[in-house]
Amino acid sequence: MQQSIQLSVDAVVFGYEAGSISVLLIKRKYEPFKGEWAIPGGFVLENESLESAVERELKEETGITIDYLEQLYTFGNPNRDPRSRVVSVAYFGLVKPSAFKIFASTDAEEVQWFHIDELPKLSFDHEEILKKAIARLQAKITYEPIGFELLDTKFPFSDLEKLYTTLLGRAIDRRNFRKKILSLNILDQLDEKVSKGSGRPANLFKFNKKRYFKLKEEGIIFDI
Amino acid sequence: MQQSIQLSVDAVVFGYEAGSISVLLIKRKYEPFKGEWAIPGGFVLENESLESAVERELKEETGITIDYLEQLYTFGNPNRDPRSRVVSVAYFGLVKPSAFKIFASTDAEEVQWFHIDELPKLSFDHEEILKKAIARLQAKITYEPIGFELLDTKFPFSDLEKLYTTLLGRAIDRRNFRKKILSLNILDQLDEKVSKGSGRPANLFKFNKKRYFKLKEEGIIFDI
DNA sequence: CATTTTATGCGTGTTTTTTACGCTAAAATA
DNA sequence: TATTTTAGCGTAAAAAACACGCATAAAATG
């Protein structure tokens, strides 16, 4: 028995900057869908794990090294690729965009961050993949502290608050939100302040991942 | 570019009977791992969707038609199969065991339900897959009403309660649980009673899936 | 340099949800 | 018929979620 199914990986990478969520897309250099936008990804090599394949492709095509990566879903519709049967394992990644300089290479003619509400037409079934990834991001920030992967290591509380209002798509009470997050005891308050523009300078905070995992083991759950 | 990665599907199927959760396993008829227990599954055909492949393999190997099926995770470790590189998309299924007669055929020498705390040694990385499936089942019954897929269409409230205590692995207050579930308004109380053994006969209930989806659209969420 | 603007940060009362637990009802059993 | 067993209803206390007031600090404005 010998199939000729090809296996690929794709990565939906989210970033957050200046109050809006963006996703990293590439413009395809080759057929099919040459010149159109797509989620970065490519074929898995013979002796490579799926995660390694994702990391390699991202590095090759966009120059990005990922901070947070998890498997999203496997898309296996027989006709999703016009060339042949290609099954793709999609991943979901988060980065701090400020930390990386993106550049196109190999299969990518161009790389660009797109706001998730200003997306171009996408190749293959990538729209479906992206839709699923957005749903996952919105759901997951309410029960796992993954939002911190999108912020700088040190951040003022207002950044976190803004991230959540953006992702949840609704207003949240600033005072109650602060109380709730601080009561979880997973943030370290630093002795630094930032002043961006007018207004009172804000204290900087840092996510204490180690403490979070310890609390998680003890059964304390993150829940917004 | 031509890979020789093979693609398979596997299905972890859970059933519930007499107060305990079981999983459907097959004894392998051929090498590798001939004579050992494994999760049912097999290779995906060229023009078949992943879901169809799962359904076909389950039917072939065990005789079961699944009630509830969802994708679990894709396992792609390069050495998970001693023959060659095989990537497997694992699925998660639920059935009412009373509704089916299981029988072994094709690749299976034997089929059997195993209580999830009395499992045999498993082939490949199937232990890892099963572990993930159990975690998913336990997590998911708290935020989606999938428990009903394991019960008979008509069931007394105590069956539901017992299922939850079993799955959650802890006692729950009978009175508060009933109040909570009934207040969700997703159960129809029937005009039938069952009396099994001693004690006051219990009213039968039926899960109203249609109403649940309607409520879900309106934003009412199931949460135990 | 006083005043306005902008944003931080602490507190308090109210409503809603969760939790704990007492008690009655109906059938089998001894 | 008394006792045991399982079903089913109700009520009060505790905890969490929600709504909102207001003092404070620094920068911008005139």
Catalytic residue, candidates B110, B128, B144, B161:
B110
Chain A residues near residue B5 by CB distance under 8 angstroms: 5-7, 44, 46
Average pLDDT value for residue range B74-81: 97
CATH of B5-140, picked from 3.90.1150.10, 2.60.120.650, 3.40.1670.10, 3.90.79.10, is 3.90.79.10
Amino acid, single-letter form, for residue A55? E
Average pLDDT value for residue range A50-74: 96
How confident is the model over A166-195, as pLDDT tens digits? 999 999 999 999 999 999 999 999 988 887
CATH 1.10.10.10 intervals, chain B: 155-218
Task: Inform me whether the pLDDT recorded for B1 exceeds 70.
Answer: no
Q: How far apart are CA B160 and CA B145, in angstroms?
A: 11
- Contact of A84 with chain B, judged by CB distance below 8 Å, is answered with no
At residue A153, the pLDDT reads: 93
Catalytic residue, candidates A36, A110, A128, A161:
A110
Average pLDDT value for residue range B169-186: 96
At residue B106, the pLDDT reads: 81
Average pLDDT value for residue range A103-114: 89
pTM for the full predicted model: 0.94
How confident is the model over B2-32, as pLDDT tens digits? 788 999 999 999 999 888 999 999 999 998 9
Task: Inform me whether the pLDDT recorded for A3 exceeds 90.
Answer: no
Average pLDDT, chain B: 94
At residue A182, the pLDDT reads: 95
At residue B224, the pLDDT reads: 92
B110 is catalytic: yes
How confident is the model over B109-147, as pLDDT tens digits? 999 999 999 999 999 999 999 999 999 999 999 999 999
Q: Which long-range contacts (CB under 8 A, 24 or more apart) does A130-139 make?
A: A130/A12, A130/A23, A130/A39, A132/A72, A132/A73, A132/A90, A133/A12, A133/A14, A133/A23, A133/A72, A133/A90, A133/A92, A136/A72, A136/A92, A137/A14, A137/A21, A137/A92, A137/A167, A138/A167, A138/A168, A138/A169
Structure tokens at A16: 């957050």
> CB–CB of B50 and A5 under 8 A?
no
% of chain A residues with pLDDT over 70: 100
Average pLDDT value for residue range B187-192: 95
Amino acid, single-letter form, for residue B118? E
% of chain A residues with pLDDT over 90: 83
Chain A residues near residue B106 by CB distance under 8 angstroms: none
At residue A1, the pLDDT reads: 57
CATH architecture of the domain with range A155-218: Orthogonal Bundle (1.10)
Average pLDDT value for residue range B25-54: 96
CATH 3.90.79.10 intervals, chain B: 5-140
